[in-house]
Amino acid sequence: MRGVPSLMDSRDAGEKRPGAFRTISEVAEEIDVPQHVLRFWETKFGQIRPVKRAGGRRYYRPEDVDLIKGVRRLLHDQGYTIRGAQRVLKEKGIRFVQSVGRGEAELAAPTLRDLEAAESETDDEAVSDAASDEFQDPDRLALRAVLDDLYACRDALREMRNPPDIAAES
């Protein structure tokens, strides 16, 4: 069939249509985070719900990718903690965070008051002293986000190591 362009001719090889589902590896590469971080974010942000097919393979819809991009911007670019990003999702909604992911909306970095409120919710003493500083530079905020992620990972691992004994509860 000469002269008739194929579907592959209409776009670069390897690129998908804008509305196509994406695998976890494609999303991880697109937003520059490891796959395990995406899986972890699914546990922390219930709004991130990829379609799961046979064998547990994850497929992300375009709106999932926008939401993930928004979460990434809040955590990595804006300096929000996981708890702070959860609060933004709760207060502003999924569509707002998706628009942040698409670059259509902006959100100011968390204020000192936001950081203090987040810290009053945690019982980790190692984290609590940073809110007393008068100035929060971007590097410190980024490190705080990483530290919060590590604490959350630690807690998730503890739960996996010590699952509740269902037989004992009955």
Q: Which residues of the chain have pLDDT under 50?
A: 1, 4-13, 123-135, 170
- Mean pLDDT over each residue of the chain, to the nearest integer: 75
Q: What is the pLDDT of residue 159?
A: 72
Asked if 130 and 115 touch (Cβ cutoff 8 Å), the reply is yes
Asked if 86 and 76 touch (Cβ cutoff 8 Å), the reply is no
Interhelix angle 138-161/35-44, rounded to 10 degrees, is 80
Q: What is the pLDDT of residue 6?
A: 45
As a residue count, the chain comes to 170
- List residues bridging with 22 in a β-sheet: 60
Global pTM value: 0.58
CATH number of 17-161: 1.10.1660.10
- List residues bridging with 23 in a β-sheet: 59
Q: What is the pLDDT of residue 59?
A: 92
Determine the number of helices (DSSP H) and then strands (DSSP E) in the chain.
Answer: 9, 3
SS3 assignment, position 51? strand
Asked if 76 and 41 touch (Cβ cutoff 8 Å), the reply is no
Residue 64: alpha-carbon gap to chain centroid: 10
pLDDT digits (tens, 9 = 90+) for 90-105: 998 989 899 888 888 7
Q: What is the pLDDT of residue 42?
A: 92
Encoding tokens for residue 30?
């697109």
In 10 A of CB 142, how many CB atoms?
15
Domain residue spans in the chain?
17-161
Asked if 141 and 112 touch (Cβ cutoff 8 Å), the reply is no
